[in-house]
Structure 1
């Protein structure tokens, strides 16, 4: 039987999502990236390491990485993904791992934040996760735990602001706190069917989002982090690989914030 596993990664065209894709691809995962921008997806997929043919043990297998363009916050997107034919179709019983990494930030006081922005943040960061898991379970897209290559799982990306809060990020903090509540509920609900659900809680990580911080802001943040630096996308990806492969990890929440949540 082939050892090749299949991972769907939302928000996978850059940053943490793309780093997770690279780590998984180097460990015999076929990757399907999901994002809104086709050009970014094409570039991201082309950067992924090829899966070694010998890892398929001679069994015919689709070793090509792929991408699906779309808005994960829309229920229609997931309905299309469940189609057995046409663009974006995902076959039944072929998904070993779903990584919910799609997310958008918000930086404004609540009273100055437009309702449309609040709705978009919650829809992208939280509702999309519920829609994704619901759709894949309902359409039996997850591979059976009896397939011989380990149990399927879901990894949700939350945020330090889900547990610590942050001025000017009410919608974002609330959406990410919801991701943790969702993870706990799904771990209890889906565990008996052999689907593991876990979460990663990153702190400040070197991404396109944090590159926009002013030097003064970075200095102020860094002085409060016990390890005195931001994390890297690769460090988050290492945790994702652990959660994907550890068969007893269910409702496992990993904080990766350099100790900032302890302050």
Structure 2
């Protein structure tokens, strides 16, 4: 039970990587609060799993890209939970397209959700962590934020921004007992990647030294490590879960 006694907030917790991280955190003993844009069946499943594991799961509903929506929800959650020892900023969206055709709305929406949303949530949660001089913040970036990807200039910019944000925030909070790290997944099998054409998937797989896609479980395992005391001397790092793509 690597996370027993810890209380975690995970954004984008209703599906994909976020749901799997919530599941793994619960299995490791954490009390989990999951933020999503709308209520889903996932929340009931996670609440049942939490009860079986002697802990709790709370569903939070807010639009992370809207300050007026997300701020009061996170402020109330910090107060009700007594404060979070772990924050996982996982919520993210894509609006792909070539840069010279991209609508300004698609550019701004991706940055607002992926980058500004992380800032809004972290600003509230980290203030409490700093007062308590303890906490672990985990930001979900991407290999695209490290190496770029054609047709995803908005997404790549947001994920590269998260890396800079991670490193800067880590330097602000390290002396106050709060660690900040990022995970940069590579090609991971999720609902988001299901829509990629098979020929494009084959091309991606050929670029991976391990010759296979990653799983949500493998990303969640990295998050468990960064959330736990096993990583207590690790901060300002970007951990690639990418099968060697970023080497």
- What TM-score does the superposition give when structure 2 sets the normalisation length? 0.91
Q: 1:51: how far off?
A: 5.8
Structure 1 residue runs of 5 or longer lacking an equivalent are 54-62, 146-150
User: Are the equivalent residues in 2 in contact too, given 1:158–1:176 (CA < 8 A)?
Assistant: yes
**Comparing both structures, which one devotes a greater share of its residues to helix?**
2
Secondary structure of residue in 2 paired with 1:250: coil
Taking the TM superposition and a 5 Å limit, the aligned residue runs for 1:78-157 are 78-84=70-76, 90-91=79-80, 93-138=82-127, 140=128, 144-145=132-133, 151-157=134-140
Give structure 1 regions of 4+ aligned residues with deviation exceeding 4 angstroms. none
Q: How does 1:1-263 map to 2 (within 5 A)?
A: 3-46=4-47, 48-50=49-51, 52-53=53-54, 63-84=55-76, 90-91=79-80, 93-138=82-127, 140=128, 144-145=132-133, 151-245=134-228, 246-262=231-247
* TM-score, normalised with respect to structure 1: 0.86
- Aligned partners of 1:33 and 1:41 also within 8 Å: no
Give the direction of change, closer, same or farther, for the CA distance of 1:77–1:210 in structure 2 (3 Å limit): same
C-alpha separation between the residues in 2 aligned to 1:51 and 1:7? 18
2:62–2:73 contact (8 Å) kept in structure 1: no
Higher radius of gyration, 1 or 2: 1
Q: Secondary structure at the match of 2:246?
A: helix
- Structure 2 residue matching 1:200: 3-state secondary structure: strand
Would you say how many aligned residue pairs link Structure 1 and Structure 2?
A: 243
